[in-house]
Amino acid sequence: MERILTSFRFLASTALCCAVAVAGTTRLLADASGGARLLAASIALAATLSVMLLIASAVAAEETTSTPEPAPAIAPVPTAPPPDESHVVLRERLEAGRALGGQLDPSASDPRVDTWIAQVRQMLERDKPGLVGYFDALSRRAYADDRARLDAHTRRLATIVRDLV
């Protein structure tokens, strides 16, 4: 009940009701003496406060008799989400790209780099189409050789696998 009595809504409505009751009684007794108007205003104030306290106790009684809603069960949070199939496949492609980078000769051209990039792009288009543009942004850059191009693409795929998938 204390929460209801101290709420802004209850206090504001009580003040408004008391003001209306006191103003109404003093206006009705405008021709009476000052003492009669004071007595009538006091009675109106006491009656209004009594009614408001009855309302507050009824609301408090209703809140205590109502059945509380059951608290929702808290499910345990998994420590790490299980990887989906696309995440596993992209991780495998990342390892294959790193292995290919170790096999490349510096400043040599190798068609396997184009094949690897195309395969990764196709996988992203199929499984994660929102990430294709992020991966393809590297194709607009100029690279010194295929090894540098493959390194840039494997770093980008590592970022995708680590942060975005």
The per-residue pLDDT string of the chain (165 residues; one tens digit each, 9 = 90 and over) reads 777 777 888 888 889 999 999 999 989 888 888 899 899 999 999 999 999 888 888 888 877 776 556 666 665 655 545 556 778 888 899 899 899 888 887 777 888 889 999 998 888 888 888 888 888 888 888 888 888 888 899 999 898 888 775
CA-CA distance, 95 to 154, in Å (whole number)?
9
Task: Report DSSP state, residue 137.
Answer: G
How far is the first Cα of the chain from the last one, in angstroms, to the nearest whole number? 52
Whats the size of the chain, residue-wise? 165
What radius of gyration, in Å, describes the C-alpha atoms of the chain? Answer: 39
Q: What is the pTM of this model?
A: 0.48
Q: Are 135 and 121 in contact (CB under 8 A)?
A: yes
CA-CA distance, 38 to 25, in Å (whole number)?
9
